[in-house]
């Protein structure tokens, strides 16, 4: 990897290259922001290099230094050099389109490359690789990574904001024994693929066995008007377009209805039992593995379920407090919430 001339400088410089959109979702942006926060706690500066759709898809990027770049690695290299003429200490690549050739090219502007991967499907050229997903076999990367690449595999490295581990003791305390699911959290991804949130809320309006449901949507979600209409007729439903304190909402909820993205590990950290919907093909292996292990209740592929099947899945899930308690215990055992701290430490180790 290229070494900047001022390697002895004080503050580490981290460049994040990621993409987010209605089709991709916002999970890559949220997990990179969590990692950037852990890095900032260690004195690092971060620069986010993103596609044009990312800021609207992930409003939380407003709090970061963001530059819009084109799809190729040469645009990323130019943006890094424009911000930091001597290059970055680490460039983080979190986008499915890039593999070894693009990562090799962008390494010209960084001392180290960290790749965040979910697919175990292509060769990578990096110094560190992170795959935070449940059930990933580290040996599957043997033919895909260069010698000496450090692998960070599994939920010990899940990238969560510090709000979640901070609330973990209180969350586990309140979930010690079985109880009915009176307060629900419905969060099916920032982009609300296929209007799934509206479909779930339509089902909830017919189910009597809860007292409150907090419905969280991103600002571009197609279900916003639909959910607001349902909520206007059913005061149990509360529509939130963006929610700043998701950790507190998860603490207060008795059960969740969610997607199989990065928020899965937030719910696990707080032991929140979840009915999960698959919204993208790449979510399917993890969702099925978690279901088989008794860690989530899997409703299935949202696109393949009709409205009656969605209602039945929700009603069955909410109607079994003992099952909810088992899911809570199993999910809480998976993730302690300190993964971002571990990854940040590994990224910065030995830089100066």
Residue 285's CATH number: 3.40.50.2000
- Find the domain containing 104 and state its range: 13-160+337-348
Q: Do residue 18 and residue 153 come from a single domain? A: yes
Q: For residues 126-155, give the mean pLDDT.
A: 96
**Residue 6 belongs to some domain of the structure:** no
Examine the domain organization and report whether 154 and 167 are in the same domain.
no
9: pLDDT confidence band, cut at 50, 70 and 90?
low
Mean pLDDT value across residues 171-187: 97
In this structure, the answer to whether residues 167 and 156 fall within a common structural domain is no
Q: Does residue 265 fall inside a structural domain?
A: yes
Instruction: Pick the range with the lowest mean pLDDT from 7-16, 231-240, 271-280.
Output: 7-16
User: Is 311 inside a domain boundary?
Assistant: yes
CATH classification of the domain holding 341: 3.40.50.11190
The answer to whether residue 1 sits within a structural domain is no
Is the same domain home to 207 and 324?
Answer: yes
For tokens 């978690």, name the residue. 290
Mean pLDDT of 92-114: 97
CA angle 293, 299, 303 (to 5 degrees): 130
Flag whether 177 is in a domain.
yes
pLDDT(8) > 60: no
8, part of any domain: no
Query: Is 237:215 a contact under the CB 8 Å cutoff?
Result: yes
SS3 sequence of 194-252: HHHHHHHHHHHCCCCCCCEEEEEECCCCCCHHHHHHHHHHCCCEEEEECCCCHHHHHHH
The answer to whether 236 touches 209, Cβ cutoff 8 Å, is: no
Q: Is the pLDDT of residue 159 over 70?
A: yes
Percentage of the chain beyond pLDDT 90 is 87
More confident residue, 345 or 25: 345
Mean pLDDT computed over 173-192: 94
In a domain, residue 182? The reply is: yes
Q: What are phi and psi of 300, to 5 degrees?
A: 125, -165
Same-domain check for residues 252 and 296: yes
Cα separation, 285 vs 249, whole angstroms? 27
User: Could you tell me which of 78, 57, 59 has the C-alpha nearest to residue 67?
Assistant: 78
Mean pLDDT for 234-244 is 92
Phi/psi of residue 189, nearest 5 degrees: 95, 145
- The answer to whether residues 146 and 195 belong to one domain is no
Does residue 172 share a domain with residue 135?
A: no
Domain total in the chain: 2
Comparing 244 with 218, which gets the higher pLDDT? 218
In a domain, 4, yes or no: no
Q: Are residues 319 and 342 both part of a single domain?
A: no
CA angle 279, 209, 248 (to 5 degrees): 60
Structure tokens at 53: 């759709």
State whether 121 and 270 are in the same domain. no
Mean pLDDT taken over the chain = 94
**How does pLDDT run across 291-349, given as a tens digit for each residue?**
999 999 999 999 999 999 999 999 999 999 999 999 999 999 999 999 999 999 999 99
Both 108 and 193 in one domain: the answer is no
Q: What is the C-alpha to C-alpha distance for residues 302 and 134, in angstroms, rounded to an integer?
A: 21
Distances (CA, A) of 348 to 8, 19, 39, 49, 111: 13, 24, 8, 20, 11
Same domain for 282 and 207: yes
Q: How many CB atoms lie within 10 A of CB 255?
A: 28
Q: Contact at 8 Å (CB) between 209 and 319?
A: yes
Is 240 in the same domain as 155? no
Which pLDDT score is estimated for 1? 38
pLDDT of 2 over the 70 cut: no
**Where does the pLDDT of residue 172 fall: very low under 50, low under 70, confident under 90, or very high at 90 and above?**
very high
């Amino acid at each position: 990897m290229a070494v900047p001339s001022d390697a002895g400088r004080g503050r580490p410089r981290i460049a994040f290259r990621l993409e987010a959109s209605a089709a991709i979702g916002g999970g890559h942006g949220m997990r990179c922001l969590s990692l950037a926060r852990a890095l900032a706690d260690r004195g690092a500066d971060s620069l986010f290099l993103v596609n044009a759709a990312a800021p609207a898809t992930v409003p939380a990027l407003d709090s970061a230094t963001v530059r819009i770049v084109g799809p190729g690695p040469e645009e990323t290299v130019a943006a890094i050099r424009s911000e930091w003429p001597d290059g970055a200490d680490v460039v983080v690549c979190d986008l499915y389109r890039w593999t070894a050739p693009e990562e090799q090219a962008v390494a010209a502007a960084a001392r180290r490359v960290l790749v965040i991967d979910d697919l175990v499907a292509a060769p990578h050229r990096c110094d560190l690789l992170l795959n935070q997903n449940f059930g990933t076999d580290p040996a599957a990367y043997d033919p895909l990574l260069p010698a000496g690449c450090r692998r960070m595999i599994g939920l010990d490295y899940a990238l969560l904001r510090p709000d979640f581990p901070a609330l973990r003791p209180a969350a586990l305390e309140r979930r010690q024994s079985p109880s009915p699911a009176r307060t629900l959290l419905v969060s099916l991804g920032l982009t609300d693929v296929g209007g799934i949130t509206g479909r779930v809320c339509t089902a909830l309006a017919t189910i009597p066995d809860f007292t409150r449901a907090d419905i969280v949507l991103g600002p571009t979600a197609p279900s916003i008007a639909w959910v607001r209409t349902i909520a206007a007729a059913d005061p149990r439903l509360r529509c939130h377009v963006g929610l700043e304190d998701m950790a507190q909402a998860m603490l207060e909820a008795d059960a969740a209805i969610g997607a199989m993205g990065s928020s899965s590990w937030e719910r696990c950290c707080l032991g929140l039992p979840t009915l999960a919907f698959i919204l993208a093909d790449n979510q399917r292996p993890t969702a099925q593995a978690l279901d088989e292990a008794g860690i989530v209740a899997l409703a299935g592929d949202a696109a393949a379920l009709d409205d009656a099947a969605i209602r039945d899945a929700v009603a069955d899930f909410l109607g079994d407090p003992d099952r909810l308690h088992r899911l809570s215990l199993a999910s809480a055992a998976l993730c302690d919430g300190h993964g971002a701290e571990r990854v940040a430490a590994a990224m910065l180790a030995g830089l100066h």
